[in-house]
Amino acid sequence: MWSVRMRSSVNEEGREKHISGAEGIYEQYQIEKVLKRFLRRAMEHPRGLPDKIVLTVEKIEGEIDYIEALPLKTHICKDEKEAFLFIKERLISLGISEKACCSAFEVIKNFEMRGATLIDLVTGERLEENKERGVRVSRVHMDKSKRKRILAKVKNLSNQPYRVIEALTIASKVAFCPEIVGELCISDNPDYTTGYIASRDFGYLRITNIKKRGDTYGGRAFFVKTPCNIEKLINFLEKVPVIVV
Ligand code: PML
């Protein structure tokens, strides 16, 4: 099996600004088709035209972990205020402090990261060393038959069902880490206003109107129980190949 990844960016005043990313685990015969799809996605992203696209094709050596997808539900909120209150309540029910919830929203709104931030679930402190890059969940893919079943379930819920599948795939790998108690995700796509919170406890919970249409901020925050081995956690999220079934 092969890990195929894409990330695109644009240089803005000497800084590399993230535009889009995509990835999966594929058989060798699928690589060419996937590369074409990823390239089109990079060139047609609503966040703009990139000036750099990195495509990586890497053979996977060693074992692949198989894990179960989180169950998916949707909660309707009328606006971002209602969404914020609902999210806070659900995250607090997991043992995450109010301070940590607010810190996650603040980081997502104010810091542009390529990956996710790791938030200490009590103090709200950021735990990753490289704060500009964040942690990029990688080498993860949803199995074809699971993908079909989820697609049938979400095609009437979202106008971008593949986005839901990708996010559910990432959230399932994240929730598999015992050190991570919950996740908050807001899409950085200005036209996509549904986000989610996820945990082993309540699964993948989509939240409508998590932000206003047109807002360009977005990102992911993982709530981490400390003390824990951060390096080992980041290694799992970024490097260990996982197929979600
Ligand atoms: C969904 O379940 O509708 C997807 C939510 C967030 C996706 C994050 C992204 O693709 O930007």
Asked if residue 189 has its Cβ within 6 Å of ligand 1, the reply is yes
Query: CA-CA distance, 154 to 75, in Å (whole number)?
Result: 13
Closest residue to atom 8 of ligand 1, CA basis: 187
Asked if residue 219 has its Cβ within 6 Å of ligand 1, the reply is no
- Proportion of the chain above pLDDT 90, given as a percent: 84
Strand pairing class (72-75; 117-120): unpaired
**Residue 2's pLDDT is what?**
96
In this structure, what token pair is assigned to residue 104? 């996650």
pLDDT at 132 over 90: no
Residue 153: phi and psi, rounded to 5, are -75, -35
Q: Whole-prediction pTM value?
A: 0.91
Q: Relative to the CA of 74, which ligand 1 atom is closest?
A: 2
Using most ligand atoms within 8 A of CB, pick from 185, 207, 208, 211 the residue to mutate for ligand 1: 185
Asked if residue 187 has its Cβ within 6 Å of ligand 1, the reply is yes
pLDDT at 237 over 90: yes
Tens digits of residue pLDDT in 197-227: 999 999 999 999 999 999 989 999 999 999 9
| Distances in whole angstroms, Cα of residue 92 to Cα of each of 95, 118, 119, 137, 199 | 5, 17, 14, 24, 12
Asked if residue 141 has its Cβ within 6 Å of ligand 1, the reply is no
CA of 192 to the centre of ligand 1 (A): 8
**Residue 46's pLDDT is what?**
77
Asked if residue 176 has its Cβ within 6 Å of ligand 1, the reply is no
| Angle between helix 98-110 and 80-92 (nearest 10) | 140
| DSSP type of residue 190 | T
CA of 164 to the centre of ligand 1 (A): 5
Confidence of residue 189 (pLDDT cuts 50, 70, 90): confident
**Are the CB atoms for 242 and 139 separated by under 8 Å?**
yes
Arithmetic mean of pLDDT over the chain: 95
Place of tokens 């940590």: 100
**Are the CB atoms for 21 and 29 separated by under 8 Å?**
no
**Dihedral sign from CA coordinates of 244, 68, 118, 91:** positive
Average pLDDT over residues 175-196: 96
Asked if residue 19 has its Cβ within 6 Å of ligand 1, the reply is no
Q: Relative to the CA of 206, which ligand 1 atom is closest?
A: 2
Average pLDDT over residues 189-202: 95
- What secondary structure does DSSP assign to 130-156, as a single string? -TTT-B---SEEE-HHHHHHHHHHHTT
pLDDT at 114 over 80: no
pLDDT at 109 over 80: yes
Tens digits of residue pLDDT in 21-79: 889 999 999 999 999 999 999 999 877 899 999 999 999 998 999 999 999 999 999 99
Return the higher-pLDDT residue of 199 and 17. 199
For the chain, the structural domain boundaries read: 2-61, 66-244
